[in-house]
Structure 1
Amino acid sequence: MVKNITHTLDDRIEEMDIKYKKVLGNLAANFSAATLKVKARYFHRIGATGKGTLRLYKNVPGIPEHKIFSSGKSYPIIVRHSNCLSSDDDARIDPRGAAIRILSDEHDTSTALLDLTLKTGKSFHARTIGDFATWLICGAEAREEQVKNAPHVKDAMWDSLRKANSYAELHYYSNICRLFRFEDGKEMYVKFKLRPFDKEINEDSGKVEPTSILPPETGAIPRDENDTRPLLFLNDDFQRRVNSPEKIQYVLQLQFRPVPNDETVREAALDCTRPWDEKEYPYVEVGEITIEQVLTNDESRKLEFNPFLRCHEVDVIRATSCSQSASMDHGRSVVYSICQHLRNNKPLPEAWRSFLDHSDVKVDLNGCPMAVLMEKEDVQKVTLARPWIKEAGFIGSRAVAMPRVTVEKEGSLAALSLAMKGEIIK
């Protein structure tokens, strides 16, 4: 009775169909296990963070009146730059990120109006959360076979990679769009972009030319043997620029598109693997960002950028199926929330614990304050032996039979892949 009374549901999970819950639950469990093991972000682990101001331009033509992105408004803002996989050497080729937090109170970094996650490259390599899960577990040969029928996925992978001399000299894109609701009741799809204030720095800055069908795992690409720069030179450059009289400046751009009436057209518009035609839907410059203060590593580590942080005027587009384009943004918000709580040792809500408990990968939540303590022998070995039909894991649009699996200690990102092969996960 107590559990039922205190159990707060997460509507993001409740509105998912069974297949969506299965795919996302396994994905969340794998990332949770990895987060508990490394006690840090899995992707975009290292980087540089600064605080400053977003000043919106007055009288931007062609844009209806909007409560948040209103003419002449100013907001305190936090920008965190990062490498996607490279956690020890900035010279590695890697996608680079720019997470933006728009604050409602300049004295409280936790009081935010909106969180936006941007990266280099105009598109992402997975259209849905099901596609993303499939991509993580399949091998190089399967990925190469996939891009033969979808060359735009190959382009998305290569276009995201950047050789960087400075975080401040790159262009960053949201890839995923949001729903804007204007004061007059009109609704539009919107994507975000951050460009350097210096117009001479073009979109191809740091671009990497393809050398194979798909790039290798970026976290393992070594730096050039003649490169003598410090390991974390991007962080050093960021701090130097912020502390200079010029500071770091960006221009915030928005790309608007009417919400299509036809469902098929809407799916195409929400497809993050294909950028919108900039001639038909041009970027509009709406404001400037100036970063004036460097945050400490500890302050940066505690930040919890939440893709689901939104408001009525800038909303997340929901999905009920893992095969819908909107599931990429909707689904990842659940994984972000769970992993951030575990990383910062915060109590895990019952709805999220239950979500993890129903996955095929069991996670040792002893590090979580809300977790029920497990017997020591149970931590060492948990057997997931059930009839194969109950072990069916849905990836993308295919049902895969999952044989008997033994999980020892923590899971990992490879857990889902090994489980499908019936191997031992260590």
Structure 2
Amino acid sequence: MEFKTGQLTTSWGAPVGDNQHSMTAGSRGPTLIQDVHLLEKLAHFNRERVPERVVHAKGAGAHGYFEVTQDVSSYTKADFLSEVGKRTPVFVRFSTVAGELGSADTVRDPRGFAVKFYTEEGNYDLVGNNTPVFFIRDAIKFPDFIHTQKRHPQTHLKNPNAVWDFWSLSPESLHQVSILMSDRGIPATLRHMHGYGSHTFKWVNADGQAVWVKYHFKTEQGVKNLDVELAAKLAGDNPDYHIEDLYNAIDQANFPSWKLYVQIMPIEDANTYRFDPFDVTKVWSQKDYPLIEVGRMVLDRNPENYFAEVEQATFSPGAFVPGIEASPDKMLQGRLFAYADAHRYRVGTNHNTLPINKPVAQVNNNQRDGQMRYDRNGGNSVYYEPNSYGGATESAASRTSSFEVSGSAGSAPYDNNDHYTQPGNLYRLLSAEERGRLIKNIVNAMIPVEKDEIKQRQIAHFYKADPEWGNAVAEGLGLRVTELA
């Protein structure tokens, strides 16, 4: 909608007679409390910043569309994937993870890759990263992990001791650490990186048959990364480099695009695959489960207002539509609660009624009231269910499909603790030059760590993944290999 300028008004629509001078008792004052326009301006100004996201605070966003290019209806009954050529509007938010709202874009960090599909059956949010794995695999460790990425409570400085202490005591992090410290740790632009759902999800077709699925968005611009020195220079010269690049590309009609592929695993394979398919620190071999093309995503429209669209955009991996469901991935299970709860705190309990988050599908629920409820608040419709007055009712066809669970209730770890095979394979896939840069990045990041005990513990993980890797890091840190035993 085009915004037209006109007479200045208060927030309640009354015209403003003087926006240059406060109402005072005489020319010297003091200021009168009856100047409600002044009070409103100051009070609103104090509240113009909603609390920033605990993680993924700084980001860029854009509108676009997703178009189905291959028939996947045999795998899922999701309507927006139901036929070739079907287009669904999307909003995508890219972000760094650990930094604050004013941090630099070109730091070494994973990038958030969140897609909101405005489908005719409700919004579907796919909230992932630019990496196929994550640092931890159980949500109970997430607050502790993020604390290590934030600032020391006394010095208010980033703390490499905490970072490497946690990683060295959490060997499941090695796969993601390997990617983070590689060339892929600093993407050249947001357009030149892949995106992943990371977790395993479940697809269910119209006949009730289910499969496990992983999402891969492959950039059509090609993968490009930044040299470490150039990234550091840009962090000082233009800390908003990635935001600017995305905006300018779309503004110049150089629309970025990604092809969406999925890996499909039969339900029964989950019990026999050599890695736990619900462990988000692991990938599925594409030799075992090849990529299947689904569609193409294009971003072709910049936001009109950053705060209204990018900052107030809320994504939750629990925003599903019929045909797409959760898996028992422990990290995903925790995120199903944590993300929506963060939005209720940060933006408000009615965050899904904001224009950027509002579904194109009709919403019929019994949620009422709460702060910032600006719509009809359900009007005079029935506000409970079940009811005898023609109110909204449940739909048996939309029930979540079942899957078998077993075991005793308790705090249980994953069964498979092989944290070294996949990182080792990744290391050996790199060229000699890429391995050299990986080792240099790791050594430079670990030099500030005060305790050799932490360094040695982390080096042991690299060594177990590949002896050459561990030896090279140890040498770079001036440690003796014999100390690794």
CA contact (8 A) 1:118 1:193 kept: no
Q: Output the CA distance in 1 between the equivalents of 2:173 and 2:51.
A: 36
CA shift in 2, pair 1:179/1:92, >3 Å: same
Correspondence for 1:297? 306
Map 1:124-143 to 2 at 5 A: 124-136=134-146, 139-140=162-163, 142-143=165-166
Q: Secondary structure at the match of 2:52?
A: coil
Q: What is the deviation of 1:162?
A: 2.4
Structure 1 residue 154: deviation in Å?
3.8
Alpha-carbon spacing, 1:290–1:223, altered in 2? closer, same or farther (3 Å): closer
Cα distance in 1 for partners of 2:144, 2:292 equals 35
- For 2:325, which of 315, 320, 339 is the aligned residue? 315
TM-score between both structures, scaled by the size of structure 2:
0.53
2:213 is paired with a residue whose SS is strand
Could you tell me which residue of structure 2 aligns to residue 282 of structure 1? 290
Once residues 98 and 75 of structure 1 are traced to their aligned partners in structure 2, the CA distance between those partners, rounded to angstroms, is 18
Task: Give the TM-score taking structure 1 as reference length.
Answer: 0.60
Partner of 1:231: 239
In 2, Cα distance between the equivalents of 1:121 and 1:208?
19
User: Residue 232 of structure 2 aligns to a residue in which SS?
Assistant: coil
Largest Rg, 1 or 2: 2
Higher relative contact order structure (alpha carbons within 8 Å, sequence separation ≥ 6): 1
Letter in 2 for 1:98: F
Q: How does 1:59-208 map to 2 (within 5 A)?
A: 59=71, 64=75, 66-68=77-79, 69-72=81-84, 73-86=86-99, 87=101, 88-104=103-119, 112-136=122-146, 139-140=162-163, 142-147=165-170, 151-152=174-175, 154-155=177-178, 157-158=180-181, 162-198=185-221, 201-202=222-223, 205-206=224-225
Q: 1:40 to 1:275 in 2, by over 3 A?
A: same
Aligned AA for 1:56?
Answer: V
CA distance in 2, matches of 1:168, 1:222: 18
Give yes or no for the alignment of 1:333 onto 2:348: no
Which of residues 346, 351, 367 in structure 1 aligns to 2:349? Answer: 346
Cα offset, 1:263, TM superposition: 5.1
Shift of 1:112: 4.0
**CA 1:227–1:269 in 2, change beyond 3 Å: closer, same or farther?**
closer
Superposition pairs of residues 47-58 of structure 1, within 5 angstroms:
47-58=59-70
Unaligned runs of 5+ in 1: 1-36, 106-110, 210-220, 319-325, 349-367, 371-393, 398-426
Q: CA deviation at 1:345?
A: 3.4
SS at structure 1 position matched to 2:191? helix
Q: What is the aligned partner in structure 2 of residue 108 from structure 1? A: none
**What SS is found at the alignment partner of 1:260?**
helix
After TM superposition, give the deviation of residue 102 of structure 1 in Å. 0.6
The offset of 1:160, in angstroms, is 9.6
After TM superposition, give the deviation of residue 306 of structure 1 in Å.
1.3
Deviation at 1:63, TM superposition (A): 5.2
Assess if the C-alpha contact under 8 Å between 2:217 and 2:258 holds in 1: yes
Asked whether the 8 Å contact 2:219–2:259 carries over to 1, the reply is: yes
- Cα 1:113–1:280 shift into 2, 3 Å: same
Question: Contact 1:82/1:98 (CA < 8 Å) preserved in 2?
Answer: yes
User: 1:313, CA displacement in angstroms?
Assistant: 0.4
Structure 2, gaps ≥5 residues long: 1-48, 149-161, 352-369, 373-409, 414-485
Instruction: Classify 1:156/1:369 alpha carbon distance in 2 versus 1 (closer, same or farther; 3 Å).
Output: same
Question: What is the CA deviation profile of residues 224-256 of structure 1, one whole-angstrom value per residue up to 9, with x for unaligned ones?
Answer: 247664110111111111122331211111111
Query: Over aligned residues, Cα RMSD in angstroms?
Result: 3.5
Q: Does 1:44 align with 2:52?
A: no
Structure 1 position 166, deviation (Å): 1.2
Greater strand fraction, Structure 1 or Structure 2 = 1
Q: How many residues align?
A: 291
1:54 CA displacement: 0.6
Structure 2 SS opposite 1:237: helix
**d(CA) in 1 for partners of 2:297 and 2:183?**
23
Q: Is the 8 A contact 2:137 2:331 kept in 1?
A: yes
